[in-house]
C-alpha cells in the first residue's frame, strides 16, 4: 500500500516486479543488439567473362600400373610383399629356386674360360707365324691358317661372353624386383608353386603419376581440343578442392556405340586423396560467356526465398530476392535475376540484418 495525501493507492507488488523485470529484459535485449554488431562489409556486383564448361564423369587411373610375369622357369621360394604393401623401386618382391640357373651360369663361365685360353693360344700362333712369314720361312697358307684360327678364337670368346650374360640374366630372373615404387594390389602365386615364363606373379600401381579418363560428346570434342583446359574434382560442393590441368590427350577416334571421344587428363603430382578406380567429375572448358557475379557469402536463404541484402548509395539496406545460376570457384555465384551490375551487396548477412532492423526502427 502507498500513501499519498488523503488518498490510498493499492498497487500489487507482484505486478511491479514483473514490469521491472520485463523492462530490464527489454533493455538488456536492446543493449545486446546494439553492442554486438558483426563486421559489416560490402562487395560490388560485377559482370565478368567466365568459362562455359561441360561436366563429364571421369575415372581416376594410374599411369604406371602393371602385372609382373615370370621370365624363367622355377618354383616360388620366398614372397616378401603382399597386397596393400608399399614397395620402393628396385625392392625384391619374390624369389625363385635358382639351382638350375646357377648351374647354367657356371657352365657358361667355364666355356668362356676355355674360349679365352684358346684365344690366347691362337694369338700366340698368329704372332709366331707373322714373324716367321716375314723371314720367308713358311708359306702364305700357314699364315692364313693362323689368321683364321685367331679370328675364330675371338668369335668363340664373344659367344662365350654372350652365354655368360644370358645365364646371369636367367639367374637374375629368379629375383623379381619392383620396376617402380608403388602399392601391391594383387598377388597371383604362393610359396611352393611352380611357374613358367609368362605366369602372372604380382599386380601393382604407382601413385606418383595419375590421370583421369572421361568421355566427351562428338559435338564438343573440337571445343575441348581448342581450349585445352579441364578441372577435376571429387565433390561438387563449391569449396571442394580442384585439380586444374591443361595436359589433355584426345583419342583420334570415337566410340562406334556412343559416338563419344575418350579424353585422358594428366593430373599434377600433388593429387592428394585421389586413388585409381575412384569416381570423379571433369569440367571441360568449351567456351566463354559474360556473367553477372555476386559473392556466395552474400546469399541468404529464408525458407524458400533466396535473397541478398542490397546497400544503396545512401547506405540504406534492402532485402531483395534473387535467382541464381552456376557456382564458380573462388566463392562466386551467377546472378540470373534480381540484381544489376554495379550494385553493392552485404558480405555478412547477419550484420546486414541487424542494420536493416535498426533502419526500420529509426524510420
Comparing 44-62+208-362 with 98-173, is the CATH topology the same?
A: no
Phi, psi angle pair for 315, to nearest 5° = 90, 0
The length of the chain in residues reads 363
Domain spanning 44-62+208-362: CATH superfamily? Efflux pump adaptor protein, beta barrel domain (2.40.30.170)
When computed from its CA atoms, the radius of gyration of the chain, rounded to whole angstroms, is: 42
Count the Cβ atoms, other than its own, within 10 Å of residue 250.
15
3-state SS assignment for residue 248: strand
Within 278-347, where are the H helices?
A: none
Give kind and range of the element (H or E) at residue 300. strand 300-302
pLDDT for residue 204 = 93
The cell numbers describing 153, all together, are: 678364337
Average of per-residue pLDDT values in the chain: 84
Q: What's the CA dihedral at 69, 173, 92, 191 to 10 degrees?
A: 70
Give kind and range of the element (H or E) at residue 135. none
The fold of 98-173 is Helix Hairpins (1.10.287)
pTM for the structure as a whole: 0.62
CA distances 99 to 47, 73, 170, Å, are: 77, 11, 11
Residue with cell 535485449: 29
Domain locations in the chain? 44-62+208-362, 70-94+177-193, 98-173
Could you tell me if 72 and 173 are in contact, meaning their C-beta atoms sit under 8 angstroms apart? yes
CA 170: distance to chain centroid?
38
pLDDT for residue 193 = 93
3-state SS assignment for residue 65: strand
The closest alpha carbon to 121, from 109, 129, 110, belongs to 129
Q: What angle in degrees, to the nearest 10, is found between the helix axes of 99-134 and 140-172?
A: 160
Flag whether pLDDT at 3 surpasses 60: no
Write out pLDDT tens, residues 211-227.
999 999 999 999 999 99
The rounded percent of the chain whose pLDDT value lies above 70 is 88
Write out pLDDT tens, residues 78-96.
999 999 999 999 999 999 9
Report the half-sphere exposure of 284 (CA within 13 A, side-chain side): 30
Residue 17 pLDDT grade (very low, low, confident, very high; cuts 50, 70, 90): very low
CA–CA separation, 99 and 107 (whole Å): 12
Give kind and range of the element (H or E) at residue 64. none
CA–CA separation, 27 and 33 (whole Å): 10
CA–CA separation, 323 and 337 (whole Å): 5
CA–CA separation, 348 and 363 (whole Å): 22
The cell numbers describing 1, all together, are: 500500500
Write out pLDDT tens, residues 266-276.
988 767 788 89
Phi-psi region of 172 (alpha: psi -120 to 50; beta: other; left: phi over 0): alpha
Could you tell me if 282 and 56 are in contact, meaning their C-beta atoms sit under 8 angstroms apart? yes
Phi, psi angle pair for 336, to nearest 5° = -90, -30
pLDDT for residue 261 = 96
Report the half-sphere exposure of 70 (CA within 13 A, side-chain side): 22
Amino acid at each position: 500500500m502507498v500513501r499519498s495525501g488523503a488518498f490510498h493507492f493499492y498497487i500489487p507488488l507482484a505486478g511491479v516486479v514483473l514490469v521491472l523485470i520485463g523492462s530490464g529484459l527489454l533493455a538488456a535485449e536492446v543493449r545486446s543488439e546494439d553492442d554486438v554488431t558483426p563486421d559489416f562489409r560490402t562487395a560490388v556486383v560485377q559482370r565478368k567473362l567466365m568459362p562455359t564448361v561441360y561436366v563429364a564423369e571421369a575415372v581416376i587411373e594410374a599411369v604406371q600400373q602393371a602385372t609382373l610375369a615370370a621370365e624363367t622357369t622355377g618354383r616360388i621360394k620366398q614372397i616378401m610383399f603382399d597386397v596393400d604393401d608399399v614397395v620402393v623401386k628396385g625392392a625384391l618382391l619374390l624369389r625363385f629356386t635358382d639351382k638350375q640357373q646357377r648351374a647354367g651360369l657356371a657352365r657358361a663361365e667355364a666355356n668362356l674360360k676355355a674360349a679365352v685360353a684358346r684365344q690366347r693360344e691362337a694369338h700366340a700362333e698368329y704372332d709366331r707365324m707373322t714373324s716367321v712369314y716375314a723371314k720367308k720361312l713358311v708359306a702364305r697358307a700357314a699364315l692364313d691358317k693362323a689368321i683364321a684360327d685367331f679370328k675364330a678364337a675371338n668369335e668363340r670368346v664373344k659367344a662365350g661372353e654372350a652365354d655368360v650374360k644370358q645365364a646371369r640374366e636367367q639367374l637374375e630372373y629368379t629375383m623379381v624386383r619392383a620396376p617402380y615404387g608403388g602399392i601391391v594390389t594383387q598377388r597371383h602365386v604362393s610359396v611352393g608353386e611352380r611357374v613358367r615364363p609368362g605366369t602372372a606373379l604380382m599386380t601393382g600401381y604407382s601413385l606418383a603419376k595419375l590421370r583421369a579418363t572421361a568421355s566427351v560428346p562428338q559435338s564438343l570434342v573440337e571445343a575441348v581440343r581448342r581450349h585445352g583446359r579441364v578441372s577435376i574434382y571429387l565433390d561438387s560442393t563449391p569449396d571442394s578442392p580442384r585439380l586444374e590441368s591443361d595436359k589433355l590427350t584426345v583419342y583420334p577416334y570415337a566410340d562406334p556405340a556412343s559416338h563419344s571421344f575418350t579424353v585422358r587428363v594428366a593430373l599434377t603430382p600433388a593429387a592428394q586423396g585421389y586413388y585409381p578406380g575412384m569416381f570423379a567429375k571433369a569440367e571441360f572448358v568449351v567456351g566463354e560467356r559474360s556473367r553477372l557475379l555476386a559473392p556466395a557469402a552474400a546469399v541468404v536463404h529464408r525458407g524458400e526465398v533466396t535473397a541478398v541484402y542490397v546497400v544503396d548509395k545512401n547506405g540504406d539496406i534492402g532485402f531483395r530476392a534473387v535467382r541464381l545460376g552456376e557456382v564458380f570457384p573462388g566463392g562466386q555465384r551467377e546472378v540470373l535475376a534480381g540484381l544489376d551490375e554495379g550494385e553493392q551487396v552485404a558480405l555478412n548477412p547477419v550484420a546486414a540484418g541487424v542494420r536493416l532492423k535498426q533502419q526500420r526502427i529509426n524510420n
